[in-house]
Structure 1
Amino acid sequence: MPTARTRPEVLLDDLVDLFLAEGFRTFTLAQLAARLRCSKTTLYALGQSKEQLTVNAVRHYFRRATAQVETETAEAASSADRLVAYLAAIGRALRPASPAFRLDLAAHHVAREVYEHNIAAAAARVRQLIGDGVAAGEFRDVHAAFIADTIAATMERIQTGRVLAATGLHDADAYEELASLVLDGIRSVTAAGT
């Protein structure tokens, strides 16, 4: 049974949604309070400054996205399905991020560090998923750390919009292509034939 969310939790979700849609650099605290229909004092409960509020919102976004990605990944039956589910769920989690949000994320030192930390965590998770698939015989014996690092570099390019600029593929589609490319490269001959 889901628990009732508090007003600060709802407000933080609303703030994240606003930032994803419009970015965060140009907002003042007064504008944020007006858009979220709350007082500046209420916003200060989420962060003592606009800087802290921004970082807290970005962290919340990545925690929220990670929880959803892991929920979707856990529902998959095989190692291959889990890897595909993981990458596809990341694509869906990033879909609401507007170009303005991406530019602001890249330009904001601390927010960018939060993003880079999450990319590193995603690479570690991919490495684990590949290792599980190798152990289960679904994937051939590959260098999981190299593949995870390559995926992380591609994830960075997707997030910053460079894949879209170079290929025309939007995030979710790019993640689906990435999953297909990786699976085709690591699936064991035995698993591929079944």
Structure 2
Amino acid sequence: MVTLGTTTRRSARRDELLDGLVALFLAEGFRIASIEDWSARLQCSKSTLYQVAPSKEQLIVAVVRDFFRRATEAVETRIAEENDPIARIGTYLEAISAQLAPASPAFFTDLEAFEPAREIYLRNTAIAAARVQELVATANREADASASLDAAFVGAVAGTVMAAIQRGEIKSATSLDDAAAYRLLADLIVAGVTRSTVRNGR
């Protein structure tokens, strides 16, 4: 019989392993390394890692999904602290930038190359674009401006740029990493919304 205490310890150990794996993935990527490499780095057995997921591929998916889940929670916590509706848009994108900042080029390269991980990134990018659209719509309503920026358009633009960031096109064209690109996207959207609301009498 498994006791509650045993279950809690296993859950805590799993979270600890995920913490360590996320740190390794962000710093070094994940395609080249093996289960043996990770177990040695985390000073645990391979069987312990297999308790997190039963194969390398599934372990990668679990770690990448956990990273984006935690990042999303951190971003939402950050914007909950911001009361100004326009500033909230910039805060949101800057918070995404901050969460992506520790990720190395190797991590993003591996995300692009490994389809299941890429799908997680794409899904999160789509969710983020929809969130930007929602935040812009809220800023428009609270500004009570008759000719504010179209929220659907801004959301679509944000989604297009985010997808281009994900595909590496922005980095290729500008040499900006993903985190820096998100910061500049925030600057552009906030400037546009601010100009629109000021022009319309906010």
- Fold match (TM-score > 0.5): yes
Q: CA deviation at 1:144?
A: 1.4
Counterpart Cα distance in 2 of 1:77 and 1:191: 22
Q: Which residue of 1 aligns with 2:85?
A: 79
Q: Which residue of 2 aligns with 1:49?
A: 55
Q: CA deviation at 1:115?
A: 0.6
Which residue of the other structure, out of 128, 131, 149, is the alignment partner of 1:142? 149
Q: Which residue of 2 aligns with 1:35?
A: 41
Counterpart Cα distance in 2 of 1:122 and 1:103: 20
Structure 1 segments of 4+ aligned residues over 6 angstroms from their partners:
191-194
Counterpart Cα distance in 2 of 1:183 and 1:28: 43
Unaligned 5+ residue runs, structure 1? none
Q: CA deviation at 1:192?
A: 8.5
Larger C-alpha radius of gyration, 1 or 2? 2
| 1:121-141 superposed Cα distances (whole Å, 9 cap, x missing partner) | 101111110111111017753
Unaligned 5+ residue runs, structure 2? 1-8
| 1:39-72 superposed Cα distances (whole Å, 9 cap, x missing partner) | 1111011111001000000000000111111111
Q: Which residue of 2 aligns with 1:151?
A: 158
Q: CA deviation at 1:161?
A: 3.7
Counterpart Cα distance in 1 of 2:129 and 2:69: 16
The two structures have a TM-score, normalised by structure 2, of 0.86
Counterpart Cα distance in 1 of 2:16 and 2:91: 27
Contact 2:148 2:200 in 1 (8 A): no
Question: Counting helix residues as a fraction of each chain, which structure ranks higher?
Answer: 2
Aligned length: 192
| 1:131-178 superposed Cα distances (whole Å, 9 cap, x missing partner) | 111110177533212211211221233344432332233433322221
Contact 2:90 2:187 in 1 (8 A): yes
Q: Specify the SS of the correspondent of 1:45.
A: helix
Q: How does 1:1-194 map to 2 (within 5 A)?
A: 6-137=12-143, 140-187=147-194, 188-190=196-198
Counterpart Cα distance in 2 of 1:20 and 1:160: 17
Q: Specify the SS of the correspondent of 1:169.
A: coil
Query: Which moved further from structure 2: 157-166 or 112-121?
Result: 157-166
Give the share of equivalent positions with the same residue, in percent. 46
- Cα 1:16–1:192 change in 2 (3 A) is farther
